[in-house]
Amino acid sequence: METVSFTRMDQGTAEEYAFLGGLWDEHHRAHLVDNLFALLRLMQGPTLGYKIDRYRHSLQTATRALRDGADEETVVVALLHDIGDPIAPDNHSEVAAAILRPYVSDDNYWLLKHHGLFQGTYYFDKIGRDRDARERFRDHPCYEKTVRFCERWDQTSFDPDYDTLPLETFEPMVRRIFARTPRGFV
């Protein structure tokens, strides 16, 4: 079979969907990590007023996590935590979390989803927002992990003089995490 026979999804057969599933899995596996790196690279360029661009910020965050002894999955999360920025700057945390969710632990998913709000403790008061907004999650099991992520790695990673590791350092880690069988979410 080269293509399916249907033109409406409700007309497909089980065999056709098995065929499509195989093609989709093959294509998805071959391109997923490259697509993630493409999102990461979209953050190269304008610094938007910071001392470094968002791409270097992401590499620096991952470098700090790695050097601080974080587990491999958390290092990958640190690298990819802002990949939602280029396509959804107003809810980048939620977008990054949704993209990584099938491949990361529930704790790292929660951290990704909420890191933007937690990061606000360092500057929300300067833009007329509540710098303590994260406190509503104080009793959540991932609260302290997310606080540490922002305090140690995310908010400190805007330093043009920091010895930041290149993307090639992290590529094998990313490929291992995304080689996992994805958890099913719809």
What's the number of domains the chain is made of? 1
Q: What is the CATH number of the domain that holds 128?
A: 1.10.3210.10
Residues 6+ apart with CB under 8 A from 50: 57, 158
Q: How far apart are CA 94 and CA 153, in angstroms?
A: 19
pLDDT at res. 29: 76
pLDDT of residue 185: 59
Alpha carbon separation from 12 to 3, 4, 7, 25 (Å, rounded): 11, 8, 8, 18
Domain housing 159? 14-178
In a domain, 6, yes or no: no
Q: Please check whether residue 8 lies inside any domain of the structure.
A: no
Distances (CA, A) of 27 to 23, 33, 67: 6, 11, 34
Instruction: With respect to residue 4, please indicate whether it lies within any of the assigned structural domains.
Output: no
User: Does a structural domain hold residue 3?
Assistant: no
What distances in angstroms separate CA 35 from CA 26, 29, 100, 177, 185, one per listed residue?
Answer: 14, 11, 12, 14, 20
| 5 occurs within a structural domain | no
Residue-by-residue pLDDT tens, the chain, 186 positions: 899 999 999 999 999 999 998 888 777 777 899 999 999 999 999 999 999 999 999 999 999 999 999 999 999 999 999 999 999 999 999 999 999 999 999 999 999 999 999 999 999 999 999 999 999 999 999 999 999 999 999 999 999 999 999 999 999 999 999 999 888 755
Residue 70 resides in a domain = yes
Asked if the structure places residue 184 within a domain, the reply is no
